Chains A and B, each alone.
Chain A
Amino acid sequence: MKKTLADVSIGELVKVNALIPSPVSSKLLEMGLYIGQEVEILFKAPFGDPIAVNVGGYVLSLRLNEADLIVVE
């Protein structure tokens, strides 16, 4: 199992390694989640989903199933 952004805990700084191909990949990319981008989960919604992510200096909210398409290291 590859580690994805959905598995990352709050405060842990990770790098985007790959995007799992899906209909939303190009959208994720446009939002700044390109390979090499540093991301950090800032906080989570009450049921742990969606999550708020720092993407290169702005806060993006992502659903867990969207975060699960982002392979990180």
Chain B
Amino acid sequence: MSFQKIALIGNPNTGKTSVFNRLTGLNQHVGNFPGVTVDKKIGKLKSENGSIEIIDLPGTYSIYPHSNDEKVVFDVLNNATHPDHPEALLVVIDASNLERNLLLFTQVYDLNIPVMLILNMSDVAYRAGREFNHEAFQKRFPGVPVIETNARVGLGIDKIIATIKNGFTITDFRPVIENYTLKLAIDPTSQSEETAERYKAIQALIPAIVNFKTSANKKIKVNRLDRILVHPIWGYLIFTVMLLLLFQLIFSIASYPMDLIDAVFSKLSDWFTDILPAGIFTDLISQGIIPGLGGVVIFIPQIALLFLFLGILEETGYMARVVFIMDKLMRPFGLNGKSVVPLLSSAACAIPGIMATRTISSWKERLITIMVAPLMSCSARIPVYTLLIGLVIPQQTVLGFFNLQGLVLFSLYALGLVSALLVSLVMKWIIQSKETSVLMLELPEFKAPRWGNVFINLLEKIKVFVFDAGKVILAVSIILWAMASFGPGDRIEMAVQQIEKPNTTNADSLAIYEQQISSIKLENSYMGIIGKTIEPVIKPIGYDWKIGISLLTSFAAREVFVGSMATIYSVHDDGDTNLGLLEKMRNEKWSDGKPVYSTATGISLMVFYVYAMQCMATLAIVKRETKSWKWPIIQVLYMGALAYLASFTVFHLFS
């Protein structure tokens, strides 16, 4: 008798993930549980007669749900017709904390589903003077195999595999709590009564199944590290240093692979343009699909580095301490200590930031964090800020030693952060939720990271981004390309013919001609037409249609604004100093002779970029994480409205 489908269940921090990773290795993928936002991790265990599917159920202390997402475990186990209902369960418990862990085991046992008990970290328990009495346990729970493991080093995993292959089933079923059915226990009062009764039963059980070599000692000595990490000064200081390290990692190290990816994809584009016959199909490949794919791949270095770093912090137990010291500060804003790292990571890039909100157990707090994360100024805004600051903010010193340009850049970042917190505050009142906000977080002991877990988790994040969000990003890139490449009828051809081709072989003149062609093509494309059409709408915030076009094209990614401006002004995008572009922009005049890029317009545009949701990749990941288009649409609308109002205000303040 062998199983086809089994599930892993256990408390958080028991090493359940390690067991799962040891059993399935890289043979795992992420799927959906219907109706909830938690991901379903499924792995395959190879055996002689086919493979056995293993579902990694979310870590939980009890099978009773306290949130919509926690309901998954309850539904899967309670409903025998549920598509994920397992034939057998592996309960992973922390052997050094039997009492609390046995609660979940006895709940599962009472369901009378074949169950195996995995005593992980039994070495720690042994050192603490406790030894598991297998004989006594078998007497009380016949037919429940018990396997002691140390999943960290892979000890005992082969025994688990052999036992799964042999099959097991409860014999002589005697429930811990009589007349126990999950259905009855759905109301909180009877749940509490039942849990209390269960703990009594466990307390009676423990002396029988555990041999205490020394007297039971539950005293905990506070770790010296904890004294430092939660210290009012050192704690925050160390966290700040960690953040600086994180940003250093993302900004400086990630830029190398990112530049490389950029170069490879633009080479690939050129190569396709060269080998394929000129035409729409070639343009689709070289200007639509390849840059679109590049736009997906370019995020991988940042996601990988961020999750490498966060994985280490999580595995060592440091992250729980960060949550502990930040919780009080975040609570007034409807957020949670767990929101801090996702929000601050968003200052590098909102995509990994939003993916990092998975650990927030309260749906409302997680949603608010996701909704405000893109307000944090990300690295893609830097080229836009740099161009605009160079354009309208003079290079001068204020208040003795502050560089005005630097001060403006700092203010833009501060504006993003403050707005994120204020919007959270508003959303706290708007979003209705029956869930009570709780922290109740276990502070695990400090450990060395398990690299296998860090690596597998990182791979999963990249896979989720590339395969789930990637589809949307690619589709939108192609749409944006088509809108910028085609115009109604022969409008583009007619416009191009207006420009006289220079009768010369001078490379410079030809380059200028090419730039003029690109500019006129964009101006007469659908994108250009929309940009012109919206001019009356954006004029009150100080923008002309050329800015309008760039606002639209930068939906692909914010930094596209700079390249798009360069195209419109027919200058070579040197991607660095922008000197040519700055000069052209400075000379741009409205029809009444006033310069377009006044200080007011420049500042209005910077503020617009602080607020506006101009990043399809972020929207794609928000859709992925909230499993609905509702939230990304709301995000576009509220951030757009904020952008318009704020830009309108500053434009009139500075005019």
Contact = CB atoms under 8 A, between A and B. Distances in A.
Interface of A: 19, 22-32, 34-35, 38, 40, 42-47, 49-50, 52, 54-63, 66
Contact of B100 (A31, A43, A46): A31
B382 interface: no
A31 B440 contact: yes
A-B pairs with the 5 shortest C-beta distances?
A46-B232, A59-B443, A30-B62, A57-B218, A34-B199
A58 B97 contact: yes
26 contacts: A26-B195, A29-B192, A29-B195, A30-B61, A31-B440, A32-B99, A42-B220, A42-B222, A42-B226, A45-B230, A46-B230, A46-B232, A46-B236, A52-B230, A52-B324, A57-B99, A58-B442, A59-B220, A59-B444, A60-B442, A61-B320, A61-B324, A61-B443, A62-B439, A62-B440, A66-B439
A43 B436 contact: no
Q: Is the interface of B mostly helix, strand, loop or mixed?
A: helix
A57 B96 contact: yes
Contacts of B61: 30-31
B227 interface: yes
A45 B199 contact: no
A55 B103 CA distance: 14
B222 A30 contact: no
A19 B97 CA distance: 22
Contacts of A25: 188, 192
Contact of A45 (B96, B220, B325): B325
A55 B97 CA distance: 10
Given A26-B195, A49-B328, A54 B226 contact: no
Contacts of B218: 38, 54, 56-57
A12 to B, nearest CB: 13
Given A42-B222, A46-B232, A50-B439, A56 B227 contact: no
Nearest to A22: B436
**Most chain A CB inside 10 Å of its own CB: which residue of B61, B232, B436, B438:** B438
B16 to A, nearest CB: 16
Contacts of A43: 222, 226-227, 230
A40 B218 CA distance: 10
Nearest to B196: A34
Nearest to A13: B219
B586 interface: no
Contacts of A55: 100
Contacts of B188: 23, 25-26
A46 B235 contact: yes
B220 A35 contact: no
B324 A60 contact: no
Given A45-B325, A46-B236, A46-B325, A57 B442 contact: no
A26 B64 contact: yes
A44 to B, nearest CB: 8
B99 A56 contact: yes
Contacts of A50: 324, 327-328, 337, 439
B398 interface: no
B46 to A, nearest CB: 36
B441 interface: yes
Contacts of A28: 440
B181 interface: no
B213 interface: no
Given A60-B443, A63-B331, 5 more contacts: A26-B64, A30-B195, A46-B328, A52-B230, A52-B443
B66 interface: yes
Contacts of B230: 43-46, 52
Contacts of B444: 59
B281 to A, nearest CB: 59
B131 to A, nearest CB: 16
Contacts of A63: 327, 331, 438-439
A44 B66 CA distance: 26
Given A32-B99, A35-B196, A26 B191 contact: yes
A73 to B, nearest CB: 17
Given A27-B66, A42-B222, A47 B328 contact: yes
A47 B62 CA distance: 31
Interface in B53-68: 61-62, 64, 66
Contacts of A54: 218-220
A61 B442 CA distance: 6
Interface string B429-442: 00000001011111
A61 B229 CA distance: 14
A54 to B, nearest CB: 5
B196 A45 contact: no
A34 B438 CA distance: 18
Contacts of B222: 42-43
Contacts of A52: 226, 230, 324, 443
A45 B100 contact: no
B328 A27 contact: no
Nearest to B444: A59
A39 B122 CA distance: 24
B230 to A, nearest CB: 6
Contacts of A32: 99-100, 103, 199
A14 B171 CA distance: 41
Given A30-B64, A57-B97, A63-B327, A24 B438 contact: yes
